[in-house]
Structure formats: C-alpha cells, structure tokens
Structure 1
Amino acid sequence: MSIFTSRFILKTDPYSKHFVFNLPKTWETRPHEYEWAKNFAETEDIVLDAACGLSHPLKFYLAGKCKEVYACDIDARILSKSSILKDIRDTYGTIIENSFLNHYFHHIHFCHSSLSKLPYQDKSFDKIFCISVLEHLSKVDIEQTFKEFRRTLKDEGLLIVTFDYPTINLEALKILLDKVKFKFYGDYSLDKPDNLLVSTIWGELNCFRAVLIKN
C-alpha cells in the first residue's frame, strides 16, 4: 500500500522504536507515525515541523535529511538549548552532549509561535509536518491553522499530518478541508480495519495519517 494513501495506521505498518532516540514505551503510536512521516523528507526540501515540541525527535531527523529545517512551537522554551536538553533527558533518560544540540541549533531555525499565526513568508515550504497536534486545538484554531499551512506551503507542497481518533471527527475534517482548500493527495479511506493500531494511554485512540495538498 502506498505511503501516499491517507488512512488509519495499522498494527502491521512499519515502525521504529529508535528514532534519533530510543522512544518511550508509552509512545504507543509515535514509532509508527515517525516511521511513516520520514518517507517524505527529501534532500532538497525546505520543511517545517509545526508544533515540534521540545524533545520530540522529528525536527532532528529532518535536519539530517533536508536542505533547510524550520521548527516552531507555542512553548517559549523552544528557544532555549538548556530547556531542550533537559526535556530530552527527562523524556528519554538520555544525557545529550551540548555539541549535539549546538549542531542542531545551527541547522534548525527554531521559532516560538502559535500555528494559527505562523511567522513565515507565503509559499516557504516544500513539506509541512504536523504530528498528532491539530486535534488538541479548538475548531476555530484548527481552521486558522490550515489557512496558515496553505499560505506558507508551496503550490505543489505536501502537508503531512496525523490525528488521534476519535478526538478528531474525520467527516467534519473532510468538510473543513474543502473549506480551507486542501484535499487528500492520492487515495484515502476512512474505513476502520480490524487490525487498527491502538493507543491506550489517554483512553482508546487510533491514529489517522493524511497526505494533503492544496486544492
């Protein structure tokens, strides 16, 4: 099945317990989400990791693959190397040398920003990654965030997103995508197969992955 198909993530999908760091066992879906998302990182891409988190590893992976990497988060500590180092230590139990973070601070453009008001120019990015974030926003902020993604994404760029379900209503999402002028890139299915990947840490949740392009 194509990586471009938007659908629920399955237990049988590829995953990696090590993604820059050894991922915590409590991160039940992230090993699958990251393993899928990394397929879209290409060497000439200018990319954004939207709501990147302090210790979350995707921005670091992208920095090792892509031409230019931007990473934003609403947490002001994203601009502090010492805060990121502490969060890495607290999350993974791993002590990182300062040289590691110095390298990434040189290669990643960090920014303190909300998703609903991105500080980037129009058509800046080849890819925007947003992993399990949007479902935590209000309906108003989700709509505005999609508008900002559309504004800052290049005309043929891809939006790579995952959502926790049923926190996100997929039928409502389809209606919203049409409103904000996004569409699924390639095939998509909202069907729930028997072998869905399940996360239980915050209740019983499934994970939906989507590849979107401007409509």
Structure 2
Amino acid sequence: MSIFTSRFILEIDPYSKHFVFNLPNTWETRPHEYGWAKNFAETEDIVLDAACGLSHPLKFYLADKCKEVYACDIDGRILSKSSILKDIEDTYGTVIDDSFLKHSFTPIHFSQSSLTNLPYQNKSFDKIFCISVLEHLSKEDMEQTFKEFRRTLKDQGLLIVTFDYPAINLEELKILLDKVKLKFHGDYSFDKPDNVLVSTIWGELNCFRAVLIKD
C-alpha cells in the first residue's frame, strides 16, 4: 500500500523503534508514526517540523536528510540549546556527542511560535510535518493552523500529519479541510481495520496518518 494513502496506522506497518534515539516504551504509536513520516524526507527539501517539541527526534532526523530544516514550538525553551540537550538526555538517557551537534542540531533553524501564527513567509516549505499535535488544538485553532500550513506550503508541497482518533472526528476534519482549501493527496480511507494500532496510555486511541496538499 502506498505511503501516500491517508488511513489508520496498522500494527503491521513498518516502525522505527530506534529513530535518532532509542524511543521510550511509553511512546506506543510514535515508532510507527516516525517510520511512516521519514519516507517523505528528500535531499532537496526545505521542511518545517511544526510543534516539534524539545527532545522529539523528527527534526534531528530531517536535519540529516534535507536541504534546510526549520522547527518551531510554542515552548520558549526551544530557543535554548542547553534546555533542548537536557531534555534529550532526560528523555532518552543519551549523552550528546560532537557529531550529533554538528550534523543534527546546529543546522536547524529554531523558532518559538504558535501554529496559528507561523513566522515564515508564504510558500516557504516543500514539506510540513506535524506529528501528534492536532488533537491538542481547539477547533478554532486547528482551522487557523491549517490556514497557516497552507500559506507557508509551496504550491506543490506536502503536509504530513498524524493525529489521535477519536480525539479528532474524521468526517468533521474532511469538512474543515474543504473549508481551508486543503485535500487528501491521492487515496484515503476512514475505515478502521481489525489490526489497527492501539494506544492505551491515554485511553484507547488509534493513530491516523494523512498526506495533504493545497486544493
């Protein structure tokens, strides 16, 4: 099945238990989310990791793969190198070496910002990644966030997202996407198979992946 198909993530999907770092066991769906999202990182891409978190590894993976990497988060500590490195050590028990700093940390352009008001020019990015974030937004903020993603995405760019279900209603999401002039890239399915991946740490949740483009 194509990586471009928007659907629920399944137990049998590829996953990356080691993704820059050894991921904590409590991150039940994240290895699968990263295992899918990494397929979209290409060498000539200018990319954004939106609401990147301090220690979350996607931005560091992208820094090794892509031409230019931007990362933003609402947490003010995102502008503090020492705070990010401490959070990495606290999360993974990893001691940071010079090679990591040179290849995976230093190239990243960090910004503190809300997703509803991104500090980037129109049509800046080939890809925008937003992993397990949307479910934490109000409906109003989600709508404005999608508008900002659309504004900062290049005309042929891709928006790569994952989010928790049923925290986000898929039919309501489809209506919202129509409103903000985004659409699924290629095939999509809202059917939930028997072998759907389940997360139990915050209640019984499933993870949906989506590839979006400008309508």
TM-score clears 0.5: yes
| Mapping 1:103-142, distance limit 5 Å | 103-142=103-142
TM-score by length of 1: 0.98
* Identity value in percent: 87
1:170 aligns with 2:170: yes
Counterpart of 2:62 in 1: which secondary structure?
helix
Q: CA deviation at 1:41?
A: 0.4
Aligned to 2:157: 157
Aligned to 2:89: 89
Aligned to 2:179: 179
Letter in 1 for 2:41: A
Q: CA deviation at 1:103?
A: 4.4
| Mapping 1:1-215, distance limit 5 Å | 1-97=1-97, 100-101=100-101, 103-215=103-215
Q: Residue 98 and residue 82 in structure 1: after superposition, are their counterparts in 2 closer, same or farther (change >3 A)?
A: farther
Letter in 2 for 1:9: I
How many residues align structurally? Answer: 215
Counterpart of 1:95 in 2: which secondary structure?
coil
TM-score by length of 2: 0.98
Range that drifts further, 75-84 or 94-103: 94-103
Q: CA deviation at 1:93?
A: 1.4
Contact 1:81 1:101 in 2 (8 A): no
Which 5+ residue runs of structure 2 have no aligned equivalent?
Answer: none
Deviation per residue, 1:111-142 (Å, 9 max, x gap): 00100000000000000000000110111100
Q: CA deviation at 1:102?
A: 5.2
Deviation per residue, 1:144-193 (Å, 9 max, x gap): 00000000000000000001011111110000000000000000000000
Cα root mean square deviation, aligned: 1.0
Q: CA deviation at 1:104?
A: 3.6
Which 5+ residue runs of structure 1 have no aligned equivalent?
Answer: none
